[in-house]
Structure 1
Amino acid sequence: MAKIMMLLTKTPWRDFRTYDIQGPALTEIGHEFIYASGAPEPKDERNFTWVLLTPEQVSIARKTGGLNLISMIKKNKPDIVQLCSLELLPLGIYLKLRKITKVVYDCREDMASALYDRKANFPMFIRKLIFRGVKALENFADRRFDGVITADPGVYEFYPQTPDERKMVCYNTALLEQFPRNYNHPAEREYDCVILGSMTSHRCGTHNLMDAIGLLKQKGIIIKLLMIGEPQNDMVERINKIVDKYQLKDQIHITGIIPHCDVPAILAKARIGIVPLHDYQKFHRNIACKAFEYMACGMPTIASELPPQRLFLDENIARFFTPNDAESLANRIEELYNDYPRIEKMGELARQKMEEQWNGDIEQEKLKKFYSNLIEMPARS
């Protein structure tokens, strides 16, 4: 069996994609799985070989492209290193040029477009340089890395030079064991709507949802909203202003940051899941994985009308609204509000679709096959 190292410097140590989906799948078929991350201490709940990265190591890695981790990799002698963030691509390039080990890049989103959008306050020529720099790194990965994993079909298309047998889409879907069918009937749930995450940037549309709730309040419709996560950056002030404007304090509950293992039980307290993403280029390629977890909790989804959501959502289990349009979103919420029979029917169909097609157990089987084949293939030169 092979020795596979997962290297995380940007994502939290208990990253759902690697910690719950990928790692257990690989250990289940006998591979030694080395989890190199900034975990606070080794965990015995997973059959992983832990390599703890200090905060200083992580900080330096993020500034040097991970090149400070070369000696650690050589010491552990993995057969394959999976890089889990864009910032580690320089490390991957070094490992390939020096023929130290096979390299797999787990590309979770359209990073070039994401950085271009996030740096809106930068001069345009700087934003274009960032975009082209990211594309140059990804182009090397496409030509030379031994494997590529993406979370979306749209990003999968960025790697045309990687042979099909060396790349796969691993969706960030929910695991059946983490989302049992023990949720309540819609009428017995505490909150009308829920939003999971999406509180770090205006691009995610949380403020549109809150404006929609304010508009509904003006019509006499009182929506109780559950917000799972914690507002950050300029969203803190923006959310507070909307709460004050419409006097929404008693209608909104913000959980703060919670462990992913606690999400299913809290999420199931709501009737309808919201995906209010704006119309940015990145969101034309990246799936909003929170919708998978809404489906797992037996609830319908109300999502902004963007191409990736149509891949797995349809009118039987979801409603769609115009991106960045609070009134359009309010109309969709009002359409389902207190219609428990329809919510129950849509939620049941969503759960069935998740069980049959969109769940983490299916993705784990795909990943096992992908790595089993990759191990037998020669390294790309």
Structure 2
Amino acid sequence: MRILVVTVVHHPEDARILHRQIAALRERGHLVVYAAPFSARDARPRPDLEGIDLPRAGGRDRRAALRAARTLLAERGPEADVVLLHDPELLLALPGTLRRWRRGGKVPVTVWDVHEDTAAALVMKGWVPRILRPPLRRAVRTAERLAERHLRLLLAEDAYQRRFRHVHPVVPNLATVPAEPPAPPGTDRVVYVGQLSRARGALELIETARQLAPDIHVEAIGAADPDVREALGRADRDGVLRWHGFLPNDRALARLSGALAGLSLLHDEPNYRHSRPTKVVEYMAHGVPVVTTPTPLAAELVERHGCGLVVPYEDPVSAARAVRRLADDPELRLRAAHRGRAAVLAELDWRDRAAGFTDVLEAWADERRAHTGAAA
């Protein structure tokens, strides 16, 4: 198949898009064209992958990104068997594009990969005025129902099924377990991997690092939202923690080896109540004990498998105390590391689900070809 993958929001090195889905498609032999905000994110396409640079959609003004995406879809969409969209914003570019495709007689299978609870995520955006949040939430739900009528949907979580009338395939955010056994967890270094924001616990991460200094160091790996960037930069300059900024997925995960613990300090937000934090699964896959706040799916994983400790929301003192407990108890630390890795190998390894993802897209493309042939 020829597959056009499009995002104007996510980093081009996004683990779900590039390192899992695109990698699985290319491993099956499909030709992928990847359109993403490379320049805006100071990234380059992989040399063996055709990349198309798009503006980045951010904040209130997303018009330039949507115009560029609409032009791209109109021009390159008919060349593809499947168009895979990764942002709800891109739904706004589709109405005119679909009509143009139909007039030209070549309509690719168009798929929206639903990464999150979009309406709940909007409530957390600081740039959305509070007065606009209820009508925006309703508008998003309406857009989701329309998308379900006209597009194919992939869901990142089973819980997202409740937002839709029909059952859709689930492609969960899983981790790839390293082939080589990881180094055992040490006693003096804690890591955080992922986007940094207030709702994701960036400020609690800084305070946790203060509580742990000077004998236990905290490393933060990930891009930061504007409202926490200054605080993270200051903490890095003052030696409170080490903020690496964004690192490509393979380099970020390499920092996990030998860490005492991996932190997930999400707040109690609607968008997190139905989602399994990918970072938690990645910590487990790399043999790193988990310290997490009690978001339901993360807490369930940690408690069921005994692979870490659960701490209260927005409580850096308790987070630091949990880290020290792991540092002081080698038996607990090693048991959590082994159990986490074993659980991912048994239930949460992306390699066991990659084929299912590509099978779904192939089946949809075959169905479209059969339908088009019958119509002709």
Bin of the TM-score, shorter chain as denominator length: 0.7 to 0.9
Q: Does 1:210 align with 2:200?
A: no
Matched residue type, 1:79: D
1:276: how far off? Answer: 0.3
2:145 to 139, 145, 157: 139
1:349 offset after TM fit, Å?
1.0
How is 1:231-380 mapped onto 2 (pairs within 5 angstroms)?
A: 231-239=224-232, 243=235, 249-310=238-299, 312-314=301-303, 316-378=306-368
Q: How far apart are residue 140 of structure 1 and its match?
A: 0.8
Distance of 2:252 and 2:290 partners within structure 1:
17
- Corresponding residue for 2:52? 52
Distance 2:22 2:137 in 1: 31
Tell me how far apart the structure 2 counterparts of residues 287 and 135 of structure 1 sit (CA, whole Å).
Answer: 22
With over 3 angstroms needed to count, the CA separation of the structure-2 counterparts of 1:295 and 1:121, relative to structure 1, is same
In structure 2, the CA distance between the partners of 1:72 and 1:354, relative to structure 1 (3 Å rule), is: same
Q: 1:79 aligns with which of 81, 99, 103?
A: 81
- Tell me the residue number matched to 2:170: 169
**Alpha-carbon deviations, 1:80-101, whole Å to 9, x = none?**
2111111101233444455432
In structure 2, give the amino acid aligned to 1:343: R
Q: Which residue of 2 aligns with 1:89?
A: 91
Could you tell me which of 161, 165, 183 is aligned with 1:160?
165
Distance in structure 2 (CA, Å) of the matches to 1:57 and 1:112: 17
Match of 1:103 in 2: 110
Change (3 A) 1:196 1:121: same
CA shift in 2, pair 1:30/1:110, >3 Å:
same
TM-score computed with the length of structure 1 as normaliser: 0.83
Task: Give percent identity, aligned residues only.
Answer: 21
8 Å Cα contact 2:273/2:295 also seen in 1: yes
Q: What residue is the counterpart of 2:27 in the other structure? A: 28
**1:122 aligned to which of 90, 112, 129:** 129
More divergent stretch after superposition (273-282 vs 339-348):
339-348
Counterpart residue identity of residue 53, structure 2: L
SS in 1 for 2:328: coil
SS of residue matched to 2:321: helix
Tell me which residue corresponds to 1:225.
218
Deviation track 1:281-326 (CA, whole Å, cap 9, x = no partner) reads 1111222111111112101111111112145332511211221222
In the TM superposition, residue 230 of structure 1 has moved relative to its aligned partner by 4.6
1:6 is displaced (CA, Å) by 1.0
Look up the match of 2:192: 195
SS at match of 1:204: coil
Tell me which moved more, 341-350 or 16-25. 16-25
Q: Does structure 1 retain, via aligned residues, the 8 Å contact 2:54–2:65?
A: no
- How far apart are residue 251 of structure 1 and its match? 5.0
Q: Report the aligned-residue RMSD.
A: 2.9
2:290–2:309 contact (8 Å) kept in structure 1: yes
**TM-score, normalised to structure 2's length?**
0.84
Gaps of 5+ in 1: none
Q: 2 CA distance for matches of 1:120 and 1:96? A: 30
In the superposition, relative to structure 1, how do residues 52 and 66 fare at CA in structure 2: closer, same or farther (>3 Å)?
closer
Q: Which runs of 5+ in 2 are unaligned?
A: none
* CA distance in 1 between partners of 2:76 and 2:326 (Å): 53
Deviation at residue 275 of structure 1 after TM alignment: 0.5
Alpha-carbon distance between aligned partners in 1 of 2:299 and 2:367, rounded to the nearest angstrom: 35
Aligned residues: 357
**Residue 15 to residue 212, structure 1, CA distance change in 2 (3 Å):** closer
Amino acid at match of 2:319: L
